[in-house]
Amino acid sequence: MKPDRWWTWTPDFPAELVHLQSGYRITPILYSSRLERATLLPPGPDIAFRSRSLDGSGAAFSTDFGDTVLDWHYTLPDSRSAALEWALRRSGEWGLRYWILVCVRSVNGAVLKFDCDSGALASEPGYPFFEAIPSEPPAVATFHESVEAVAEEIEENGYFFLGSRAGRGRVAAMRFNLEQAPRLRIQISARENCPIPGDSIASASSEDGTPQAALRAVHDVISWNHVWDDINRRPYTALSRFWNRRKFSGFGVWLNDILFNALMWSHFEPRAAIDNFDAVAAWQTSEGNFPCLVTGNDAWLDRSQTPIAAFVAWYIYARSRNLEFLERAYPKLVRNNRWWKDRRSLGDSGLVAFGTSAGAGEGLYKGTKLAAKNESAMDNSPLHDPAPFDPESGLLLALDVGLNSMFALDCEMLGLIAAALCKTAEADKFRSEASILGELISKELWDEERGVFANRLLDGSFIRPIAPTSFFPLLAGAATPAQSEAMLGGYFENADKFGGRFAIPSIARDDPAFADNVYWRGRIWGPLNYWCYRGLRRNRFDRLASELARKSQDLFGAAWTKRICGENYNADTGEVFDQPDTDGFYSWGALLPLIAVHEIIDEDPWNGLNFKPPAFDSAFGPIATKYGPLRLDARDGEWEARFFGDILLRGNVGGRLSKLALDKGKFEATLSAGPGGEWLSIPDRRITAVKLGGLDVKSSGKRVALPVRREPTLLTIYFDGASVRG
């Protein structure tokens, strides 16, 4: 989200509206006479995050304080204007004794004046322009030294106290009670002439099918967690607002969490995706690694986390075609990749291990086994229990199948990025390294006796615990067909291992540690589901991928009815708060509904831009793609694909269309197997020739009738007189 817009930027106060350009902040405070207490609505039980519009123009939440429930809506249409509204849903006491104090201040010290006749609040001349006009005048306006002083005054003196009533000052409080104003709207304007450039996509459809609900859920979660880091002066998406002050003292960049936020934002607004990537890259160490964690308290420079940054950078580029971003990200990505090879290689195995580096910062746990486990992002996983730690090298002496699969993927993605930047020799080098790593994983980390990939100790023995990371070789393209079939049948679908109603537990169900149900010892995590889904799709295990998408959405959806997005979930019951070690509005929990989004529209390195039209009447999107925002509308067995609102394609094809490519006079896509009777058309274009699997197909000039397809087949449609190349 562009920093020149009104937004809920403040990490510690999610109901506070902030206009960064002018410096004005609007902070609601609630006061209950029954409780004799006021609240600035920090993250917690007093506030519940509701929906946010996909284009950023609206935000809804509810408050439950003193047993009085209010529904709130913020309208945020552009860089200058906003509106704040509330409506009473349930009273916990007489409305005259329940007060809403709308506080306004500017970090630039602007003087505000109140007009008691109109009830309007405005800035005085000489300061950035501000105006707030309520639909009903407040009962009184008061002025203070700070917003905290507003809350302290009403708690100490009650709502009859008028000692702070005034006509002008720097911190204003417009005071309303619910007897007077059970429903109210305040129209807000602010101006400052220093716009920040950015880019966003078109507004969303109001229709809401199951896939659209998943798309909206992803956006709601990352939008509510998207804040302004006042310490480092930049926007980014927090792991969770609940952690910002309590754990991190103002800001917290936990490496892969923030990268996942960047990945999720790329579907909606590339600028916000890049902001999150930059929040990670800014802390790259002199050694070359992206640090595991940097907060207001500490910096874990001695360790990193599994290398996913190149995949995320490629993903942002694939959807935005922002070459400038790719050019400046590439050198940092290469340095991070080389750090893994230089600092984490385990003996002469050709593979890498987790560790902690001597001489790099003074982060908590540095030089310990716990620090090395931190690098896995699965800190207390049973996978690490049998692995010895070598204090001299700082390495965990085990070849981790998940880490090496992600390292191979990192090399593969760098090959793609180098190719996009026309660095042919570097692209070939990284592709070769990815291939070599894949062969080593397939050979050295395959446990033939058990029929599954597993972590391995230096003495050659395999570690007994099995996690979803055993399926990551699919993601890296390292598993042979025979290996894939064996482990998917024996482990992924096996209800005693990783199958069952709720998927995917972070350790096999028959492992003794599963019963611990603490963090990575048995609970379900969005990132594990996400990477497993990617691996299944890459290897065309489409049935299993679709089943995982359904299970992930079902798991997420049950808690989401209460607007809970779990950091992790109970693998037996699907509960979030059955134990204390989980957060209820954690960003990467939205990876679960993101999988359901990918079932409809996706873009990955192996299938390109692809979509599968919904099987029922619905509207889905828009989602950012390399051709602009894409939206699907399905009705009565037919569908339309729209870019920027214009119909690109119309048809009734029921399967997936992959590797979509649109050029001057030509459209290409790989169609999945399908029956006869299907058709496609390109509205407002005259079709001149069609090839399917290299063979000519007759066309009416307006519509292509497709024959039976028994396997995925390349379709090429030429239009408007373009020539057909053989």
Give the Cα separation of 428 and 84 in Å (integer): 55
CB burial of residue 246 (10 Å; 0-12, 13-18, 19+): exposed
Q: Which residue has the tokens 């199951």?
A: 210
Query: pTM of the predicted model, to two decimals?
Result: 0.92
List Cβ neighbours of 561 (8 Å cut-off, separation of 6 or more): none
pLDDT exceeds cutoff 60 at 434: yes
- The answer to whether residue 440 scores a pLDDT higher than 70 is yes
CA 118 to centroid of chain Cα atoms: 43
**Positive/negative CA dihedral, 177, 181, 183, 186:** negative
Q: What's the rounded mean pLDDT across residues 393-420?
A: 98
Sign of CA dihedral 357, 363, 368, 372: negative
User: In DSSP terms, which residues pair with 70 in a beta bridge?
Assistant: 63, 88
pLDDT classification of 192: cutoffs 50, 70, 90: low
| Separation between Cα atoms, residue 388 and residue 116, nearest integer Å | 72
Average pLDDT of the chain?
93
Distance CA 679, CA 638 (A): 10
Q: Encoding tokens for residue 710?
A: 């028994």
Q: Which of 105, 266, 138 is nearest to 201 (CA)?
A: 266
The pLDDT of residue 721 is: 54
Residue 504: asked if its preceding bond is cis (omega within 30°), the reply is: yes
pLDDT at 204: 36
- The pLDDT of residue 645 is 75
Q: Per-residue pLDDT tens for 604-627?
A: 999 999 999 887 788 999 999 999
| Contact predicate 215/620, CB 8 Å | yes
Which helix (H) or strand (E) is 408 found in, with range? helix 401-420
Segment among 382-391, 454-463, 539-548, 693-702 with least mean pLDDT: 693-702
Pairwise CA distance, residues 646 & 202, whole Å? 12
Contact (CB, 8 A) for 58 and 76: yes
Angle between helix axes 210-224 and 591-600 (nearest 10 degrees) is: 140
User: CB–CB of 582/239 below 8 Å?
Assistant: no
pLDDT above 50: residue 205 = no
Q: Does residue 195 surpass a pLDDT of 90?
A: no
In which residue are the tokens 């993601």 written?
475
Q: How far is CA 344 from CA 301, 375, 440, in A?
A: 14, 11, 16
Cα-based distances in Å from 500 to 497, 572, 573: 8, 9, 11
* Rounded Cα distance, 158 and 284, in Å: 51
Residue 208: per-residue pLDDT:
39
In the three-class reduction of DSSP (H, G, I as helix; E, B as strand; rest coil), residue 44 is classed as coil
H or E stretch covering 594 = helix 591-600
Kindly tell me if the per-residue pLDDT of 664 is higher than 90.
Answer: no
Helical residues (DSSP H) of 308-360, grouped into ranges: 309-320, 323-343
Is the pLDDT confidence value at 555 over 80?
A: yes
Give the tens place of pLDDT for each residue, 50-104. Answer: 999 999 999 999 999 999 999 999 999 988 899 999 999 999 999 999 999 999 9
The pLDDT of residue 723 = 40
Residue 342: its pLDDT value, please? 97
The whole-number pLDDT of residue 115 equals: 95
